[in-house]
Copies of this chain bind each other. A is one copy, B any other.
Amino acid sequence: MGTTQLDAVPEPKYWHLKTVLSDALDSEFEVGEILPNERELAARFGVARATLRQALEQLELEGRLQRRRGVGTTVAPPRFGVDVGPGEQGWPGAPDDAWQTGESEETTAPAAVAALLGRDADEPVHSVRRTRMTHGQPVATELLYVPHSSVPGLPAMDSTGGTARGRAVLRELHRLELDGQERTVELGSVRADDARQLDRLPGAPVLVVTTRYVSQGVTAAVSVSTYRADTCRLTFGEKVREPVVPAPEGPAPEAAPRRHRAATAGRLSHR
């Protein structure tokens, strides 16, 4: 007695805030437009900044917003669709691939990778770092692990730890016959070293794509690629051509107008 009705599940404030902001983004903002700052938004909605930030975090996770320290919060463009095979049924470094070869060094593979390779954890491998660019932005970094035994023909150039070495490794890899590849995708958080290359803070969500390259029945190489989860949509094309894909937003896309109305000055109404 007293409760007007079944108030049922009191929706968390930040959750409600998120949907309000999401709607405002659709109706009142242009892509690339900069939002009012967090302190102002929090005040306007009558919540603590931490609560507002919880909502913004969600929206950033869904690729709707982009936040940069010292700059501000902007409305993010729809996610890129980046192709992740098996379209290009080739080895890394195929002439047409989207990757840019970087440093290479001789190390020992991390335990998990060694297990995937089916090699001992202490067997030396070539590790080649690569970066993938799209629209002028780095969207992924990769570490490619190639056991010495996979590329026995590689000329000795031990101390040449530069990009030349990386290209040499890729070249040798191409001499092998590729039987197939196997991929897994999972969620991770970017480590400090990758973070800088991807222009994100450590801990930002990434999609980790692990690929096992098989040649003549054995795993010849393993690559671990980390894609920015906020800006990327991984596509696995097969046979079919892609039409205009209007980036589903959030989880299960529900009626999403995303009309671009002219943006003037003081909108984003409260309540």
Residues of A that sit less than 8 Å from B by CB: 12, 15, 18, 58, 61-63, 79, 81, 86, 110-113, 115-116, 118, 143, 179-191, 194, 202-203, 205-208, 210, 212, 214, 224, 226, 229-230, 232-240, 242-257
Contacts and interface: CB of A to CB of B under 8 A. Distances in A.
B239 A180 contact: yes
B186 A112 contact: no
B112 A246 contact: yes
Contact of A251 (B190, B254, B256): B190
29 contacts: A58-B189, A61-B189, A62-B187, A63-B186, A110-B252, A111-B253, A112-B248, A112-B249, A112-B256, A113-B253, A115-B244, A115-B246, A181-B238, A181-B240, A182-B238, A184-B235, A185-B207, A186-B207, A186-B229, A187-B187, A187-B207, A191-B254, A194-B252, A206-B251, A210-B248, A214-B239, A214-B240, A224-B251, A224-B253
A183 to B, nearest CB: 4
Nearest to A210: B248
Nearest to A225: B252
Contacts of A206: 251
Contacts of A229: 186-187
A253 B185 CA distance: 13
Contacts of A249: 112
Given A112-B253, A253-B224, A236 B205 contact: no
A234 B191 contact: no
A90 B15 CA distance: 38
Nearest to A187: B229
A258 B15 CA distance: 36
A248 B208 contact: yes
A188 B111 contact: no
A179 to B, nearest CB: 7
A254 B236 CA distance: 27
Contacts of A254: 110, 191
Given A58-B189, A143-B252, A191-B250, A239 B179 contact: yes
A189 B233 contact: no
Given A110-B256, A116-B246, 16 more contacts: A15-B202, A86-B238, A111-B246, A111-B253, A112-B253, A115-B245, A181-B240, A183-B236, A184-B234, A187-B230, A208-B248, A208-B251, A210-B248, A212-B240, A214-B239, A224-B251
A184 B111 contact: no
A146 to B, nearest CB: 16
